[in-house]
């Protein structure tokens, strides 16, 4: 079944089709275009997608959305960015199933992927989700536009770093179920405090469809603030958390020998036991949010538990592999995609349980504003609690942490990922457990790739 026809694209975008064609996918990055795709030639301050039309069609594009002359099959519009949003709205309008929106300061991509796995197990080939971390003003409409017409459940991640952004995105997605995973210091450069962050995350509830469900973290100090944000829009408010008062809570959470956690959860009046593959209490919280959403969407909780037991780590978000070191191997925990104070603490707590000598490669946390130095220095105790013996700190903002740790363990402070790569080779020994985590812009993913190549 085709994803879009030229006539449907033209009708959705108020454009003019040059000829009949059908597409099976949508992309706005010419490097991602595959056979049968629709290429959306977005224009921006630094680039113009029209420059890459020839490349897109050479890679197999079946058509394009353009705002300039084009010799290949296309739909001509006035504004290609507006057209992408219009196509996303049209995809959402024709979708007859359940839509779930996910946001939060930490855990939203992991929760989105876990939720997809939990639903896909009982509804294979009928669940759609946003790929990668496509959660902003271009990624969300793209993810919507890619949604097959016969989708039964759609799961969409939504992010923000300024107030008002989520309100716009959630009205595009129009979820039946909206989740806030957690509130934590992130993008604090742009907010007055955590309360303002909670208010901005609570905007997700503004797009709820009539009869919709809001899912809120019970253990958060901002729980009541989020509930107040949800009340004008949600018909049902469900809380999740580790504490007994939550609607969906962990009755038991016990670490098992494989590194995961055996969880017995109460979901309303029902109990469910499963072994969560991913280690750490932050993953237990994610799993409870997932179960709350599966239940709200009418999914199969038993199948969801089985899916959570099989869920592997995501690249940059907990994936594990063994790297060759001298004549042996070292465990690498890849958390290189992003970092804020809460996620740093959570992943250091996971490292604490690993066997062997502990090495932490920590990149600076960005967009923390005037409190950046304090947030970095405050990681000293979690680092010590994780039994780290060697810390490789990356980036200028890590200086306060380097000073706090220098008398307590072996610290190497370097300016960038390139220097970190050179320094790490001399640090590792067989049997080590290495945590690699930092803000995405630090580029520690290159360090991970180098270790994988070894």
How many angstroms separate the CA atoms of 401 and 454, rounded?
A: 30
63-66 vs 74-76, strand pairing mode: parallel
Task: Report how far residue 369's alpha carbon sits from residue 99's, in angstroms, rounded to the nearest whole number.
Answer: 35
Q: Are 344 and 106 in contact (CB under 8 A)?
A: no
Annotated binding site: 104-110
* DSSP string across 10-40: HHHHT-EESS--EESEEESSGGG--TTEEEE
Handedness of CA 317, 126, 175, 219 (dihedral sign): negative
Backbone φ, ψ for residue 123 (5° rounding): -135, 60
Only one residue has tokens 């740093």, namely 344
The answer to whether 194 and 369 are in contact (CB under 8 A) is: no
Structure tokens given for 280: 């750490």
Alpha-carbon distance values, 389 to 323, 412, 434 (Å): 19, 11, 11
Q: Return the structure tokens found at 83.
A: 């057209």
Which structure tokens are listed for 120? 């896909």
Reading the block at residue 84, the tokens are 């992408």
The residue whose two tokens read 């991509």 is 109
Residues 331, 356: Cα–Cα separation, whole Å: 9
Q: How far is CA 74 from CA 20, 200, 452, in A?
A: 9, 38, 41
Residue 264: which H helix or E strand, with range?
A: strand 261-267
Q: What angle do CA 373, 394, 432 make, to 5 degrees?
A: 120
Are the C-beta atoms of 169 and 179 separated by less than 8 Å?
A: no
Residues comprising the binding site for ATP?
104-110
């Amino acid at each position: 079944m085709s994803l879009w026809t030229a006539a449907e694209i033209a009708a959705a975008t108020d454009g003019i089709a040059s000829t009949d064609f059908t597409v099976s996918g949508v992309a706005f990055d010419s490097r991602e275009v595959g056979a049968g795709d629709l290429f959306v030639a977005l224009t921006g301050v630094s680039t113009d997608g029209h420059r890459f039309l020839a490349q897109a069609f050479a890679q197999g594009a079946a058509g394009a959305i353009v705002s300039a002359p084009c010799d290949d099959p296309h739909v001509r519009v006035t504004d290609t960015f507006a057209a992408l949003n219009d196509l996303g709205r049209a995809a959402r309008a024709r979708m007859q199933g359940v839509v779930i929106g996910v946001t939060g300061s930490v855990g939203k991509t992991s929760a989105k992927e876990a939720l997809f796995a939990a639903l896909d197990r009982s509804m294979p080939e009928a669940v759609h989700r946003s790929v990668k971390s496509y959660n902003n003003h271009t990624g969300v409409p793209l993810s919507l536009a890619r949604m097959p017409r016969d989708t039964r459940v759609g799961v969409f991640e939504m992010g923000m770093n300024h107030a008002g952004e989520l309100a716009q995105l959630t009205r595009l997605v129009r979820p039946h179920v909206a989740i806030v995973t957690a509130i934590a210091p992130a993008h604090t450069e742009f907010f007055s405090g955590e309360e303002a962050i909670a208010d901005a995350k609570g905007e997700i509830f503004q797009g709820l469809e009539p009869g919709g469900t809001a899912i809120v973290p019970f253990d958060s100090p901002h729980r009541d603030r989020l509930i107040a944000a949800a009340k004008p829009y949600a018909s049902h408010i469900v809380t999740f958390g580790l504490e007994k008062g939550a609607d969906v809570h962990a009755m038991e959470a016990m670490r098992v020998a494989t590194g995961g956690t055996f969880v017995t959860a109460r979901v309303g009046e029902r109990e469910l036991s499963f072994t969560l593959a991913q280690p750490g209490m932050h993953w237990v919280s994610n799993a409870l949010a997932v179960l709350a959403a599966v239940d709200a969407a009418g999914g199969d909780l038993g199948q969801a538990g089985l899916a959570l037991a099989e869920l592997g780590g995501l690249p940059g978000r907990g994936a594990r592999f063994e790297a060759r070191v001298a004549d042996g191997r070292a465990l690498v925990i890849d958390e290189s995609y992003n970092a804020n104070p809460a996620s740093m603490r959570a992943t250091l707590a996971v490292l604490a349980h690993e066997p062997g000598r502990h090495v932490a490669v920590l990149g600076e946390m960005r967009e923390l504003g005037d409190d950046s130095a304090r947030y970095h220095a405050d990681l000293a105790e979690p680092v010590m609690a994780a039994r780290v013996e060697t810390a490789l700190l990356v980036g200028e903002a890590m200086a306060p942490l380097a000073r706090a740790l220098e008398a307590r363990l072996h610290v190497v402070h370097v300016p960038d990922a390139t220097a970190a790569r050179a320094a790490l080779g001399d640090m590792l020994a067989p049997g080590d457990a290495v945590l690699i985590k930092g803000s995405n812009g630090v580029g520690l993913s290159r360090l991970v790739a180098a270790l994988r190549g070894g």
